[in-house]
Structure 1
Amino acid sequence: MSASDTSQARNDSRGRHSTVEAHMSPAPLAVQGWDAPRLLDWATRIGPPARALINGLLHPRRPPQQSYRRCLGILRLGKSYGDDRLEAACERALAIGATSYSSLKSILKNGLDTQRLTPPCDPAQTSLPREHANVRGATYDH
């Protein structure tokens, strides 16, 4: 076997992967037997928010195996916290844009999945009026 048989072309694109399965470390290979349809099926059994979250994690990844461990970790949170709580956590995570494993685990650990998600404040309702008794003007200190 020559050196060219055991190496791959360097990918100079920032943030892009070029993985040859034969060169993958044992961790990504440990999820062999899993594929996107199987993960999506599991997420679908939990609920629509879980499916949407897992679907969002799977599709931007190339190769998709790089997201399988993350997806499996998230789906396995249902074993510790229950599928109903995981579904509520996925809904909250999607609403706030925090879809990582650590964000979901934190939501569950702190019971945020059981609390009502309040909509963001409307800045128009919370701003002070432009004119009021405490406004001194631009020339006050000069």
Structure 2
Amino acid sequence: MGASKVVITDVVDHKLHIARVMGADAAINVRGKSTDDVKRELEAALGNLPDITIECTGAEPSIRLGMLGTKSGGTLVLVGLGAPEIKVPLVDAAVREIDIRGIFRYANCYPTALAMVASGKVCVKPLVTH
């Protein structure tokens, strides 16, 4: 099982290029775009807003986009950790029944991830920048 389509958003073209090379179906540069503009691009790429959004930056604008850009009844997973308090459209998310989940990377996840890299199932070479 897995995602039928993957769309990546970022503000850096190089990162978006790497995402495409690694298999993303679409890559959207959100720099300077309104939430509505990005939502339209997501809908064009997916045919609808995403059922599941995984937010990895912890940045307020990205979390906000995740809340507003996830399909009603969908799930927003918060992976990135940012400021302890941020301003987000919580009522909108509640009314549209967005399931908001947090995740913390626990040590018991590492053996599986390392095994996937060691077996060649996942190639991380393009991700290593330093």
TM-score range, shorter-chain basis?
A: under 0.3
When normalised by structure 1's length, the TM-score is 0.18
In proportion to residue count, which structure has more strand?
Answer: 2
In proportion to residue count, which structure has more helix?
Answer: 1
When normalised by structure 2's length, the TM-score is 0.19
Larger Rg: 1
